[in-house]
Amino acid sequence: MAKNILQQSYNDLIKKNNNTAVLILEDGKKIFGTGFGYPGIKAGEMCFNTSMSGYQEIITDPSYNGQIITFTFPHIGNVGTNFDDYEKSKSFASGIITREPPPLSSNWRSENEFENWLIKMRLTGIYGVDTRFLTKYIKNNNAPAGLISFNPKSNFNFKLLNKKLESWPRIKGANLIPNVSSKRIKKWRKNSWGIKKIMSKNKKLHVVAFDFGIKNNILRNLYDLGLEVTVVPFESSIQKIKILKPDGIFLSNGPGDPLATYSSIKENFDAIIKIGIPIFGICIGHQLLALAFGAKTEKMEQGHRGGNHPVINLSNKNVDITSQNHGFNVVENSLPKTLKVTHRSLFDNSIEGLEHESKPIFSVQFHPEASPGPHDSKYLFKKFYAFIEKRRL
């Protein structure tokens, strides 16, 4: 009976338009909707993001490499897209899902309609599905795999699509950093909107930022402080880093399994964190630091993704509303004595921040650079600056 009802909805959609799309879930469920963006077939890990704004930044965040993003907020596309809000110049996501069709944009900064922009990004989407059901499904099924097929002719070979979904490599155990990292060393010289740089009282301070999939707004926040910023590929050798003579090292966000990434760069990474200069890590940078000091990481059941996650700062008991995007976390009982917990999630009590007991090294799981927000935790960039400046005195 259920199959007949499903088929009937499929037939109804075909009669109404020629943009029928299908979402196939890991357990064989088929959800029909309307395709938009770039036609194609894309598989990935299903996840959901609860942010009410910032969809352009989310879609161009390299940390979503290999994932299909379900937006829980219904109005996606209403402010269009623009040149300034890219986190990277392309999208690494596998696809997107929305409840409503993208409307015409209404915003003074808009330079391109959302669907036209998706086509430019070669990103496949499906709308007209029950995203509340889908969010609960993802939550209860441990980040299942899924596949979107958008064929304007509404001609689906389900046998072939099922095979593609079954053969899709899972994120657990995958090192995805080579997909998103810069291939060459480059300087960053762009400020945030309306922000003047805070110039150092001393010699200009230099930060080397490891690109594990770094977001542009992280680099803007570092540059806003008056820092000279050099971006380097994720596998840059200790010899190259020493030649650059940094005053501090930044470890960026990025996709994939942190253990797989750490295993691929272990010898070099361990040498870099022993240089003795301040280090600040975000997201996978946070996880890599934990692994280097002997802790363990694990895949989360559903991950944290959204702009409304409360995190308590254990040093002053302030609660920051944070932006988050991660599917792995640091295992509590694996922490060495040299690392102390500085921040915790008020959703599930998981570790959100770490600091070394004796070295100027700290990290957070969330995103203090959040664009468009919230901005509660931007103080962490100033903390990093203070560590660097203190060492130079």
CA separation for the pair 55, 235 (Å, rounded): 30
23 in a domain, yes or no? yes
CA 367 to chain centre: 9
CA separation for the pair 263, 173 (Å, rounded): 10
Asked if 227 and 142 sit in the same domain, the reply is: no
Asked if 126 and 231 sit in the same domain, the reply is: no
Longest pairwise C-alpha distance within the chain: 75
Q: Where are the alpha helices (H) located in the chain, listed in sequence order?
A: 2-16, 55-59, 114-120, 131-140, 158-167, 177-180, 216-224, 238-244, 258-272, 284-292, 379-392
For position 13, what pLDDT does the model report? Answer: 54
Asked if 183 and 73 sit in the same domain, the reply is: no
49 in a domain, yes or no? yes
273 phi, psi to nearest 5 deg: -75, -5
Asked if 82 and 203 sit in the same domain, the reply is: no
Active site residue 369: yes
For position 44, what pLDDT does the model report? Answer: 98
Contact yes or no for 348/310 (Cβ under 8 A): no
Edge-to-edge order in the sheet of strand 361-364: 186-188, 228-233, 206-211, 248-251, 279-282, 361-364, 351-356, 339-345, 297-313, 319-330
Place of tokens 């469920």: 29
Asked if 143 and 292 sit in the same domain, the reply is: no
Whether the predicted model's global pTM rises above the 0.75 cut = yes
For position 244, what pLDDT does the model report? Answer: 98
For position 199, what pLDDT does the model report? Answer: 54
Written as six digits, the tokens of 52 are: 């009410």
Asked if 163 and 188 sit in the same domain, the reply is: no
Residue finishing a domain among 141, 167, 193: 167
Active site residue 367: yes
2 in a domain, yes or no? no
141 in a domain, yes or no? yes
99 in a domain, yes or no? yes
For position 392, what pLDDT does the model report? Answer: 78
Asked if 197 and 338 sit in the same domain, the reply is: yes
172 in a domain, yes or no? no
1 in a domain, yes or no? no
Asked if 143 and 274 sit in the same domain, the reply is: no
Residue finishing a domain among 167, 193, 215: 167
Asked if 267 and 380 sit in the same domain, the reply is: yes
Asked if 268 and 156 sit in the same domain, the reply is: no
For position 92, what pLDDT does the model report? Answer: 98
Give me the average pLDDT of each 10-residue run along the chain (393 residues). Answer: 43 64 96 96 97 96 98 95 95 97 93 96 96 96 96 90 97 97 96 68 83 98 96 97 97 98 97 96 98 98 95 98 98 98 98 98 97 93 96 76
Q: Which of 26, 47, 283, 326 is catalytic?
A: 283
Residue finishing a domain among 167, 202, 235: 167
Asked if 328 and 307 sit in the same domain, the reply is: yes
**Alpha-carbon dihedral sign for residues 169, 326, 236, 59:** positive
Range of the domain at 220: 177-392
Q: Which of 26, 87, 352, 369 is catalytic?
A: 369
Asked if 117 and 183 sit in the same domain, the reply is: no
CATH of the domain at 220: 3.40.50.880
Question: What's the structural domain count of the chain?
Answer: 2
